[in-house]
Structure 1
């Protein structure tokens, strides 16, 4: 778990309280970095960061050689922070997600826009393309424009987005969807990934399969992937089937659809990994893929090796577009309900900053497609 040093936030919050209460009035000089460092017994780097944050939010103005001065004079006045005035005029919500297509994400985008609109808010939208630096830059841009709250579908990765962590620590309204981030105590809305993966694996067991593979990206602290792996493992235990850990491949890095433009080098690496995996495990009768894009690539590589789906091997996954080239048996997540719950939680947080952190799991279902075939029925 990532540790987070909140010292500068203590300095920031103390000054913010003084500014909002009128103890530090509009135009008044704020204590210097040195004075604040001595008062709070922190380093000057820490006090500088607190002042920089207040400046970013337009509560103070920093003038080189003269010091920092309060520019805020209470809400409803011309001297109110520009970010607050913008959000009051336009009522903005920021929404960030790695990407979307017909398999998953499109209804999330539609739902977030619809439910925010019902509350009178306009949605600022940004795709991170799975890159942490783009996600963090989007957070900063939305705050600068005047977003009053954020809904974030976090990217995969073990490194915490420090800007999100800072916002949550300051009690800024943030709701996560699809997964939560370890170390960030924010409300989140998602599918119960462990339960869903367990049910998908159990579905294959019920069809008579025992030699089942599992394909996913590296977990890297990403809770959704970790939970799906655990669900796959627990299903083996519940059905009394011995788990072969060599059947679990967690090294597929490309999350873009195979017909979309992605990183060609990563795509080639994934092809080599899958070809090697299927050549080594020819006894597999079924494979569960953590993501639809991985299932698509798996089917392509199996066909290239001369194996038919589902005649020779069944392939199931999370998410599958109804109009896709292949209609997979899959876990269908309720994107519309996820989006509605996320917006409702955000609005509650915006109206009551003491609103407790909420964890909401939205029901899912298994949709049978054309990529599975029963083997002999087995009683466990």
Structure 2
């Protein structure tokens, strides 16, 4: 989790005071000395933060008296900050617990900070996603939180918004050529930790079932982390333990896994995404070969969409992402682009490895 820079903390603190005092012109702000003590920094740093707000017309410095809010604060900022600004959350679907918890995090932050979030389902359609992005910029929507569809193309509409410095926060997928905030799981290190966990449990035959790495940076990072973990803990980059499936349908996943397990009956653990489409197909493939889960093959899942009763039956290991914080932090960084120091951020959050034979994760749907 990346911490805000000292300069950002100061600016955000001052903006909160301005918001609270926005109906009162000539409100006196804290002194440079007091803020320097509070933030354990130099008065020069405080002065720079104040100067940014002066340049925006929000404050005025009266020599010998201090910093004060202005008429613009009263007439413009009061209306702007205390009325809800509309933002979009564009997401392929909200079927999984991962997507649902992201939504909870976003809506909680928006409720706390007077942002009006509208949910737009792209239904994994890049054209529909582009349409929503375009409509956001061409209307009164002030910013976008985007959970992109999995595809190899960078959305042209997204590139245009980035060039115009439109406030954007992107979840899960990182675009190197787009200037936006990015919030995700630390997928690379998560997979290294997953392999380390399995190595400690004395497993030797692992299978990583994945979609093509070209679809999203998160998929690529997980694959690279898995291979790095195999190299570190098993002494080799065993690419034979990776099964790439296009995953267009549950039947395709079933066919791919069945063929692999027939050729590799010694497989002990299958690591994959925890969506029900994938896990149900994997379980069906194992059952068709008279392989029992969890007796013969253990599942390790990125997140969990099983009910507590189902989870007790299959007893998976779970790579638990902090989806709520991903949502909350994505809304927070978008808010900062609207009201704070306007800087973008790259935030990668850690995971927890959970063992259903030892504990039941708190966030399981009943």
Question: Could you say whether these structures have the same fold, taking a TM-score greater than 0.5 normalized by the shorter chain as the test?
Answer: yes
Deviations 1:216-240 (A, max 9, x none): 1111151100010011111111113
Structure (1/2) with the larger helix percentage: 2
Preserved contact between residue 228 and residue 290 of structure 1 (Cα < 8 Å): no
- Figure out how many residues of one structure are paired with residues of the other and give that number: 276
Preserved contact between residue 98 and residue 129 of structure 1 (Cα < 8 Å): yes
More moved, 325-334 vs 159-168: 325-334
Deviations 1:11-59 (A, max 9, x none): xxxxxxxxxxxxxxxxxxxxxxxxxxxxxxxxxxxxxxxxxxxxxxxxx
Counterpart check, 1:184 vs 2:178: yes
Tell me: CA distance 1:312–1:184, structure 2 relative to 1, closer, same or farther (3 Å): same
Q: Is the partner of 2:214 in helix, strand or coil?
A: coil
Match of residue 268 from structure 2: 285
Match of residue 362 from structure 1: 349
Cα distance between partner residues in 1 of 2:193 and 2:158? 33
Cα distance between partner residues in 2 of 1:204 and 1:246? 17
Cα distance between partner residues in 2 of 1:333 and 1:176? 16
Within the candidate set 242, 262, 276, 2:259 is matched to 276
Q: 1:242 deviation in Å?
A: 2.7
Cα distance between partner residues in 2 of 1:370 and 1:277? 27
Counterpart check, 1:305 vs 2:289: yes
Mapping 1:205-284, distance limit 5 Å: 205-254=199-248, 266-284=249-267
Match of residue 149 from structure 2: 155
Within the candidate set 305, 316, 330, 1:342 is matched to 330
What 5-or-longer segments of structure 2 have no aligned partner?
A: 1-71, 73-78, 359-366
Tell me: CA distance 1:100–1:322, structure 2 relative to 1, closer, same or farther (3 Å): same
Q: TM-score, normalised by structure 1?
A: 0.67
Q: TM-score, normalised by structure 2?
A: 0.70
Q: 1:88 deviation in Å?
A: 9.7
Q: Is the partner of 1:220 in helix, strand or coil?
A: helix
Preserved contact between residue 215 and residue 250 of structure 1 (Cα < 8 Å): yes
Preserved contact between residue 91 and residue 147 of structure 1 (Cα < 8 Å): yes
Match of residue 28 from structure 1: none
Preserved contact between residue 322 and residue 349 of structure 2 (Cα < 8 Å): yes
Cα distance between partner residues in 1 of 2:187 and 2:306? 21
Q: Is the partner of 2:88 in helix, strand or coil?
A: strand
Match of residue 42 from structure 1: none
- Higher relative contact order, structure no. (Cα contacts within 8 Å, ≥ 6 residues apart): 2
Preserved contact between residue 136 and residue 143 of structure 2 (Cα < 8 Å): no
Match of residue 54 from structure 1: none
Match of residue 140 from structure 2: 146
Tell me: CA distance 1:276–1:311, structure 2 relative to 1, closer, same or farther (3 Å): same
Cα distance between partner residues in 1 of 2:246 and 2:295? 24
Q: Is the partner of 1:357 in helix, strand or coil?
A: coil
Cα distance between partner residues in 2 of 1:267 and 1:175? 31
Match of residue 298 from structure 2: 314
Cα distance between partner residues in 2 of 1:298 and 1:159? 29
Tell me: CA distance 1:227–1:328, structure 2 relative to 1, closer, same or farther (3 Å): same
Cα distance between partner residues in 2 of 1:243 and 1:314? 21
More moved, 97-106 vs 221-230: 97-106
Preserved contact between residue 165 and residue 179 of structure 2 (Cα < 8 Å): no
Cα distance between partner residues in 1 of 2:162 and 2:170? 11
Match of residue 104 from structure 2: 110
Cα distance between partner residues in 1 of 2:177 and 2:273? 24
Match of residue 132 from structure 1: 126
What 5-or-longer segments of structure 1 have no aligned partner?
A: 1-74, 76-84, 255-265, 372-380
Cα distance between partner residues in 1 of 2:235 and 2:265? 19
Tell me: CA distance 1:358–1:89, structure 2 relative to 1, closer, same or farther (3 Å): closer
Preserved contact between residue 333 and residue 344 of structure 2 (Cα < 8 Å): no
